[in-house]
Chain A
Amino acid sequence: MSRYIIRRTLIAIPTLIAISFVIFIILDLAPNDPTGSLPLTVPGDVREAIREALGLNDPFFFRWLKWMRQMFINEPLNFIESVFNISIGAGEDRVRIVSWSSRSPVVDTIIQRIPQTLWVLGTAFILGVIIAVPVGVISAYKQYSAFDNIGTFVTMVGYSVPTFFTGLLAIIIFSVWLGWFPSFYDTTLEVNSWETFVQQVKQMIMPVAVLALFNAAALSRFTRSSMLDNLNEDYVRTARSKGISENRVLTRHVLRNSLIPVVTLIALQIPGIFAGAIITEQIFRVNGLGQLLIISIQGGDVPMVQTLTFIFAVLIVFFNLIADVTYGLLDPRIRYD
């Protein structure tokens, strides 16, 4: 297994370089422009000068290599410097990746966004898993019971009604009619007392609920179907006939064998936490990484989009590796050759 992990890690490097290259091509071709949201009163020659100054007219390869250098050398060095408070070489001359819209280092902005993203999306993810797995297991175990049918209905509605609608509905009900929760998320709130903690919980409830419902829907469906497959297996019958308790059959045998799709989906959802939830963040004004990404795409802010998507790619590759390793632990027969 350890040889497999080492091999996969080594393959990850060229994979990520290739991904970064493809992303760069797409962003280069994409017709968004950093001067796009300037008032129309700003004349064309000024716009052209801005593009020139941003380096948009430099050769493609030059820009990509420049970004690679900043991403893999300058930013890590700078990170080490700031964490350990030391200086390595000529730190002042190292050019960091700078956003075209805010003119500030993109990595700093990304770090600024992590707290609210983790609070909201992280909680929603955990809540989603906590809801989805038991619901999936019980639905499968009691197939076609009232619980299963209601669960199917709720999860399917939760998945098929887009979050732009469920989010709005939540605001209308809980902010406008009941007045329980604020309609927007205050990112400047510092949790340092019981009151502020309550405030934080209040502003998180709606976005977390909307996202958790959506996340749980897919996960519970796959859990249910996988459980059903395994419940029909002969080994379950064998185990039961041996007199093993039902609980033990379920948890030891069926659940363990049903977890592969669950692990797969979780490995797909964790990077999603860092990618943010664009629509939900917009509606509740959470302004996490999802909102940052969409704003940067709309504003043609190539350095920001490139860096965000690349970090996302790293997480995807990493968590898919974790998933593959977990398969081996769940089912020792799985071998990679």
Chain B
Amino acid sequence: MKTTKWLALFGALALVLAACSPSDDDATATTADGSTTETTADAGTPDTTEAPDSGMSAGEGGLVTIFQWQAPSIVNPFLSGGTKDLLASSLVLEPLAEYDPSGQLVPALAAEIPTVANGGVSEDLTQLTWTLKDGVVWSDGSPFTADDVVFTYEYCTQTTSCTQSSFFDGITSVVADDATHVTITFDAPTPFPYNAFTTYQSSILHKTQFEGCVGDELAPTCTEENTNPHGTGPFVVDEFLVNDTVTYVMNPNYRGIADGYPFFGSALIKGGGDATDTLRSVLELDEGDYSWNAQVTPEVVAQMEAAGFGTVQAGFASLVERIMVNQTDPNPDLGDQRSEPGNPHPFLTDPAVWQALSMAIDRQALVDVGYGPSGRPTCNIWPGAPYASPNNDACLTQDIAGANALLEEAGYVDSDSDGIREDPDTGDPLFLLYQTSTNTTRQLNQDLIKANWAEIGIDVELRNIDSGVFFGGDQASPDTYQAFYADVEMYANESGSPDPQNYMSGLGTTGQIVSPANNFGGSNIARFDSAEFDALAAELATTGDLDKRIELVIAMNDLIVQNGAMIPLIYRGSASGLGVDIAGVGDINGWDSEFWNIEIWTRTG
């Protein structure tokens, strides 16, 4: 590869990133009230430390109350068991850089985002050097240095139970050049090198505090460290009640204090209840300011919003509710061989069938009934610009007649007039076992889709599985989404980063097909088997040019959608309930912590 091409990529990437900012400016403008600072300027601009003085004194705002019905268990992101824990840690710990709601990388502990243009990334794309902000101190008063960054890498890679170790994939070394420079070396040219130390999933730990906690033996014994880590963020943990309540107070050494950040002097995350309970507390009872993950039936949301204490807002990233179409045969008669590659599904590999399945679905109805403003119908697995494919939008309109015609033409006719079509090859009726996790919205959508599919002569049995089991990954269980002992299944998935490479490749490459070979841990759940897709994924991994990357991602998306491995349904936003008197939140951040900018939140009125 020629280096000029790599250079072009970075120019282009930076352009795209910058291009995102106007829309974000609009978003901040709508919520700005004088005190709001612009944290999301183009890459390279430092954040709140150099933001204008807020005109208020830090901590004067009192308490901000956040309801998070899934209560935090731990404040260390590297031992976290889910988003609930990561969110709790994001008030305390900070990464080098974070994503804003538009997916643009902005510096947090770093002074700027390294690019080829500014010399932060080597021209062969194998080295990345972060320059750290000067003068940042930990909450205990000791200085934040490059050693902490190196230590964080060591901590996670030397502890096998580190849940975020995939963020450090492909890294051969992390070295502190001096107190404010860290160089990361990759084992191969890496077109998107920003995974490590970015987002709330990969925040920086304090070396002095965690030094005695490295490794699987020691990490769990550090209860004090894991629940009350030293941080550089606006808050520190005051009291931690496992799976219940976290109370925070302002970090006395926070770098924004002189400029009046954070406005709130303390914060509280209260867990428990369910999404409806917590949303009611904010929207109807004014008992708190923020209700995380407000997936509640739209009519109920509207009724709660009518009380006037708050609204539900949604931030869109890459989360897509989809139906996975099993390319292999889940027939229990196959025993061990069910849903294994090599046993193709009797009719779901036929283009006519899955095209009909997709055409018959009324996606707008799914959104209206289940998601309201926090969902949009989509026909793509990657629905966000600039990688969204323009080629599949036909599915947005339901077409029962077309679907029926397609099936008739392909020979699937209802020969015994029982309302169910039969497979011309086997004579068996078209019957689908359709599973998903237990969740009111999903069951409503299941009901609707079952009715849609009944109209095209396909019989459906619904099954819902406890989400702890469905997403649990226990290999002995027949009910996990990976085992996929069903014909179709529905769930949502998203990319961990605004760069689609890892996520899109994982969805469809043959090496990722779930099988005993990879301990049922593969990410190609639909068992999509396509040499063409593999080739596209391989090309994407080595392609630097952004236009070309967009082209490749669109091609991968189209291949997987048009060949029936997945039926995308809904582009889902992260919905949260927000008190009317809370300002400065801006758009809900779907790419990073929803509390990424909590230091600039204020209370009005």
Contacts and interface: CB of A to CB of B under 8 A. Distances in A.
A and B touch in the complex (CB under 8 A): yes
Interface of A: 29, 31-50, 52-54, 98-105, 108-109, 112-113, 171, 175-176, 182-184, 186-188, 281-287, 291-292, 295, 297-300
B537 to A, nearest CB: 15
Contact of B281 (A37, A183, A282, A292): A183
Interface string B408-427: 00000000000000000000
B31 interface: no
Nearest to A37: B82
Given A31-B480, A53-B160, A291 B523 contact: no
Contact of B220 (A43, A47, A98, A297): A98
A40 B163 CA distance: 12
A46 B280 CA distance: 37
Nearest to A292: B243
B281 A287 contact: no
A287 B71 contact: yes
A109 B227 CA distance: 12
Interface string B472-503: 11101101101000000000011110000001
A47 B472 CA distance: 10
Contact of B477 (A31, A295, A297): A31
7 contacts: A31-B477, A37-B471, A102-B73, A112-B244, A287-B243, A291-B272, A299-B468
Nearest to B495: A41
B244 A175 contact: no
Given A44-B520, A49-B161, 18 more contacts: A29-B476, A31-B469, A32-B468, A33-B472, A35-B81, A36-B472, A38-B80, A41-B503, A43-B506, A50-B161, A99-B242, A102-B226, A102-B227, A103-B219, A104-B227, A184-B273, A282-B272, A287-B245
B285 interface: yes
Nearest to B491: A40
**A-B CB proximity, top 10 nearest:** A44-B521, A31-B477, A285-B272, A33-B472, A53-B161, A41-B496, A36-B472, A37-B82, A287-B244, A103-B220
Contacts of B474: 31-33, 300
Nearest to B481: A40
A101 B81 contact: yes
A299 B472 CA distance: 9
A175 B283 CA distance: 13
Contacts of B466: 298
A184 B462 CA distance: 35
B244 A184 contact: no
Interface string B435-465: 0000000000000000000000000000000
B45 interface: no
Contact of B242 (A34, A48, A104): A104
B494 A40 contact: yes
A108 B466 CA distance: 29
Contacts of A29: 476
Contacts of B472: 31-33, 35-36, 300
Contacts of A45: 518-519, 521
B284 interface: yes
A292 B245 CA distance: 12
Interface string B209-246: 00000001001111100110000000000010111110
B74 interface: yes
A45 to B, nearest CB: 6
Contacts of B287: 182-184
Given A34-B81, A286-B272, A40 B522 contact: no
Interface residues of B, number: 72
Given A46-B163, A287-B271, A183 B280 contact: yes
- The secondary-structure label for the interface of chain B is loop
B277 A285 contact: yes
Contact of A188 (B67, B245, B473): B245
A67 B100 CA distance: 45
Nearest to B244: A287
Nearest to B469: A31
A251 to B, nearest CB: 44
B166 interface: yes
Contacts of B477: 31
B207 interface: no
Interface in B271-295: 271-274, 277, 280-281, 284-285, 287
A188 B247 contact: yes
Contacts of A282: 272-274, 277
A284 B221 CA distance: 32
Contacts of B165: 46, 49
Given A34-B81, A37-B82, A39-B496, A188 B468 contact: no
Contacts of B272: 184, 281-282, 285-287, 291
Contacts of A284: 273
Contacts of B482: 44
B82 A38 contact: yes
Contacts of B494: 39-41
Nearest to B473: A33
Nearest to A52: B160
Contacts of B522: 44
Most buried by A among B227, B473, B523: B473
B270 interface: yes
Given A50-B161, A101-B74, A282-B273, A188 B241 contact: yes
Given A41-B494, A104-B223, A300-B468, A112 B241 contact: yes
B267 to A, nearest CB: 13
Contacts of B80: 38
A298 B468 contact: yes
A32 B523 CA distance: 19
B93 to A, nearest CB: 16
B83 interface: yes
A75 to B, nearest CB: 15
Contacts of B81: 34-35, 37-38, 100-101, 299
B113 interface: no
Contacts of B471: 36-37, 40
Contacts of A33: 468, 472-474
B79 interface: yes
Contact of A105 (B161, B223, B247, B274): B223
Nearest to B79: A103
Contacts of B83: 39
Interface string B52-72: 000000000000000100110
B274 to A, nearest CB: 7
A285 B271 contact: yes
A238 B267 CA distance: 70
Contacts of B166: 41-43, 46
A37 B241 contact: no
A54 B160 CA distance: 9
A98 B222 CA distance: 11
Given A105-B223, A176-B280, A47 B473 contact: yes
A40 to B, nearest CB: 5
Contacts of B161: 49-50, 53-54
A100 B480 CA distance: 20
Contacts of B241: 112, 187-188, 287
Given A187-B241, A188-B239, A285-B270, A32 B469 contact: yes
Contacts of A38: 80-82, 163
Nearest to A109: B242
B521 A102 contact: no
B324 to A, nearest CB: 12
A285 B496 CA distance: 31
B220 A48 contact: no
A101 B243 CA distance: 9
Nearest to B226: A103
A291 B243 contact: yes
A35 B518 CA distance: 17
B436 to A, nearest CB: 14
A37 B466 CA distance: 12
